Amino acid sequence: MYDVIVIGSGPAGYVAAIRASQLGLKTACVEKSFHNDSPQLGGTCLNIGCIPSKTLLDSSHRYADALHQFSDHGIKVQNPTIDIPKMMDRKNKIVAQLTGGISSLFKANNVTQILGTATIMGANTVEVTYEGKTETLETQNIVIASGSSPIDIPVAKVNHKNIVDSTGALEFQAVPKTLGIIGAGIIGLELGSVWARLGSKVTILEALDDFLPMADSKISKEVLKEFNKQGLNINLGCKVNAAKSNKKNVTVNYENNGSEFELNFEKLIVAVGRKPNTENLFSKSSDLSVDERGFIPVNNFCETKVKNIWAIGDVVRGPMLAHKASEEGIMVVERIAGNQVEMEYAHVPSVIYTHPEVAWVGQNEKDLSDAGLEFKTGSFPFAASGRALATGESTGFVKVIADKKTDTILGVHAFGPSAADIVQQGVVAMEFKASAEDLGLTIFSHPTVSEALHEAAMAVNEKAIHIGNIKK
């Protein structure tokens, strides 16, 4: 009898399993993916998502710098070339190191690793099947962390050759001369950036009329300008009707503003989002169900309608983000152990790891206007930052939004160098219910790009030093 069985070993599952064991709970983690008859730990994020994509983003950025930026620093490089197989080998080694690290952490924390496909039979029973053999496990609590998979669309069926999903786009062995991407979300933009930097002619087809509607509108406008300048040909309001492939290319037919168009690509990436892995996860006897989109309904503490069965990460509501999933895992097992821990979902940050980075946390102007709330804002451009200019990274700005009456910070938005880290500082401030004045009175090291956050916070109350203050 286990105290906790976790289904899935991605950022939600492995973190939950480790913390559960740390809390003195007898814990097992079931993973269906395998390599050499051992569980392939880490889920999408470590194996085919966050880590490999960031590795390629870094490699491609360094190559682009060598081509276009080194000369600005007085560094001369003769005809730099890129070795794609070596780049992929580096990526694979990093992935292997990290996934192997999880296995070591499981051993160090006495988490039992179980290989196989899990089926929830009831509140206290899990069946695990591997190579035709089924084992029945008993447990006090079940934590579902089975993750998500790329959405496949009928008009552009993935063939894993020249029509690929995000996984396939991380495995190209050569730079496609022309690359089409369906979807201008986070995944589409990051993958497009990788291959555009390496020399591919990239065209992105987005169904929505608005670019990055989840981000602050002023930042979205600047991001769109910059990405188009970088070679990402982003087309909005495009309805893809068909994608037909042959040995040489993929022909995509789409509509835009009532007109029909046709484009040919060497490779096509389908990046229209992800769906929860909940199919065949539980038997009818379990009393569990999913909503119309396949998500498992839960309350604010990730409890399902069945007592002692919890669900976390990509299988439940909210953004499909590794850090959100991990924190849910910690919250759930802490509550299983009797600790009254909770999460502040309003403070989950989002990041696009392009160059420059795009990041945000909290509410934007549209959110607040739609809710009828009064607010004030302050912005600071990286063009006025000494450190940003010194590093040649002066594109973009930081924006702070605060309550008009209380001055409490409601949102932090950034586009530019180290945007992810800058917004993370905003997350900490918001967790402690800081005001814009509090942040403005905080000492920031000089010279750092983080000073842009400091100045933006001061600008909220017309006290910025290194830009003119806009009278509100």
Residue 471 has a pLDDT of 67
- Other C-beta atoms within 10 Å of 104: how many? 9
Mean pLDDT on 192-199 = 98
Q: Exactly one of 68, 73, 160, 446 is catalytic; which is it?
A: 446
**What does the block give as tokens for 421?**
């880290």
Q: Do 282 and 127 form a contact (C-beta atoms < 8 A)?
A: no
Tell me the residue range of the domain where 167 lies: 163-272
Q: For 259, how many CA atoms within 13 A lie in the half-sphere containing its CB? A: 3
Same-domain pairing of 450 and 369 = yes
Give the mean model confidence (pLDDT) for residues 5-33. 98
pLDDT at 36: 73
State pLDDT tens for residues 366-401: 999 999 999 999 999 999 999 999 999 999 999 999
The pLDDT tens digits for 226-279 are 999 999 999 999 999 999 999 889 999 999 999 999 999 999 999 999 999 999
Average pLDDT estimate for 342-367: 97
At residue 429, the 3 state secondary structure works out as helix
Please say if the pLDDT value at position 472 is more than 70: no
pLDDT (tens digit per residue) in 22-58: 999 999 999 999 877 778 999 999 999 999 999 999 9
Confidence grade of residue 140 (pLDDT, cut at 50, 70, 90):
very high
Domain boundary among 221, 253, 272: 272
Nearest to 429 by CA among 437, 167, 366, 326: 437
Does the annotation count 355 as an active-site position?
Answer: no
Task: Please report the DSSP string for 209-256 in residue order.
Answer: SSSSTTS-HHHHHHHHHHHHHTTEEEE-SEEEEEEEE-SS-EEEEEEE
Q: Which of 230, 253, 272 is the last residue of a domain?
A: 272
Looking up tokens 């509108």 gives: 217
Candidates 217, 266, 257, 216; CA nearest to 236 is: 257
Q: What is the pLDDT of residue 35?
A: 76
Q: Which of 320, 302, 321 is nearest to 310 (CA)?
A: 302
Counting Cβ atoms within 10 Å, is residue 277 exposed (0-12), middle (13-18) or buried (19+)?
buried
User: In angstroms, what is the C-alpha Rg of the chain?
Assistant: 24
Domain count, the chain: 3
Is position 44 within any domain? yes
Nearby residues of 248 by Cβ (< 8 Å), 6 or more positions away: 266
- Within its chain, how far is the Cα of 274 from the centroid? 11
Residues 14, 80, single domain; the answer is: yes
Do 122 and 59 fall within a single domain?
A: yes
In a domain, 259, yes or no: yes
Beta-strand runs (E) in 101-245: 112-115, 117-122, 125-130, 133-144, 148-150, 163-164, 178-182, 201-205, 232-235, 238-245
- Going edge to edge, which strands form the sheet with 259-265? 238-245, 250-256, 259-265
CA distance 336 to 334: 5
| CATH number of the domain where residue 400 is located | 3.30.390.30
Whether residue 132 lies inside any domain: the answer is yes
**Which 3-state string (H, E, C) describes 385-403?**
CHHHHHCCCCCCEEEEEEE
The CATH number of residue 88's host domain is: 3.50.50.60
> Are residues 171 and 227 both part of a single domain?
yes
How far is residue 453's CA from residue 423's CA, in Å, rounded to a whole number?
8
Do residues 57 and 142 both lie within one domain? yes
Which burial class, exposed, middle or buried, applies to 235 when counting CB atoms under 10 A from its CB (0-12, 13-18, 19+)?
middle
